[in-house]
Amino acid sequence: MYYIGIMSGTSLDGIDLVLAGFTPQPRIISSLLQPFPAELKQQLQQLCQPGDNEIELLGLAEQQLAYSYAAGVQLLLSQAGIEAAAIAAIGCHGQTIRHRPDARLPFSYQIGDMHKLAMLCQIPVIADFRRKDIAYGGQGAPLVPAFHDAVFATADARRAVVNIGGIANVTLLVPDQPVSGFDTGPGNALLDNWVMQCLAKDYDMDGEFCQQGQLIPALLAAMLADPYFSRPAPKSTGREYFNLNWLQQFQPEQYLPADVQRTLCRLTAHTIADSLRTSQPQQVFICGGGAHNPVLMADLALLFPACQISSTAKLGVAPDWVEALAFAWLAWAYQHQVPGNLPEVTGASKACVLGVAYKP
């Protein structure tokens, strides 16, 4: 039996889908990126911040998400030539619209009508992966370190896996030591938000805008002083915190726009490199959209010259599909009663089988 993983992350760049097998090792059979309809993307951007008429907007967005997820599943199956009956389950992350692990009453909210998705696809759906970890005192994030440990760890080297999506997170895989991991801070979110404001583009393709700018040391130092970066793990964050409102406190309008973009890129690289220094990994593997930004990759190499930095493609999984594969694995883990969280990463009081099953 096969599994499907669906991931739509904080960058809002689209829906990643993979069709995978897990006998014995994870193997991607087919993959695709399903773009968000323009109206849905706008609704999701609105829902990430408090606003008017949120419940009505949320209800409509949940339905549209289910239809978009289902359309992606149908296309994926058609592309692979596999029938729905051959799929054991879909692991669907849903779309995070609010992540408040440090609130007085912590919560994390991922939307998408999973009953509708199961009905449309006629495949069981496993979803709602974060809230059980939070119920046991955890951050509910990051969840990918358990998958990284299962698939990428080796007894021969100290490894780090860095996912650079809208938010960046790192997993440290050191032989004979507990796995550690946390959100380092902004990944592509601020870069995307700034280029949208300045150029009305969804993202800075190949870092072209970034390459036109010069680093602003004073701005970088001011941003790095944010208390989040010096907080000890476990910790997690989201675009609810690192967004244009956060950036505005540093008065970016006083600088050239391309210089701000260049400095935001260095901020992402700097906070990732800082997170690696204690464990001193021998190998660093990058996944997520940030792996395609040559400026960001060059900054990481400059700031962390202790080892070679490459993408997860070197480990057999293309960087664009690691997170979607992780949620296919979480669906597999749910059905096989394998814990999907790591308490040493999230801060939960116990290891838990994560997810809720939605049957067609």
Q: Which residues are annotated as a binding site?
A: 9-16
Residue 137: phi and psi, rounded to 5, are 90, 10
| Continuous segment of H or E residues that includes residue 288 | none
> What strands, in cross-sheet order, belong to the sheet with 356-358?
26-34, 15-22, 2-7, 87-92, 125-127, 356-358
Return d(Cα 62, Cα 279) in angstroms, integer: 41
Report which of 164, 136, 125 is spatially closest to residue 10, judged by C-alpha positions. Answer: 164
Cα–Cα distances (Å) from 360 to 10, 41, 110, 117, 122, in that order, read 28, 27, 20, 8, 5
Tell me how far apart the terminal alpha carbons of the chain are, to the nearest angstrom. Answer: 17
CB 107 within 8 A of CB 343: no
Give 176: exposed, middle or buried? Use CB within 10 Å, 0-12, 13-18, 19+. Answer: exposed
Q: Which residues are annotated as a binding site for ATP?
A: 9-16
Specify the 3-state DSSP secondary structure of 91: strand
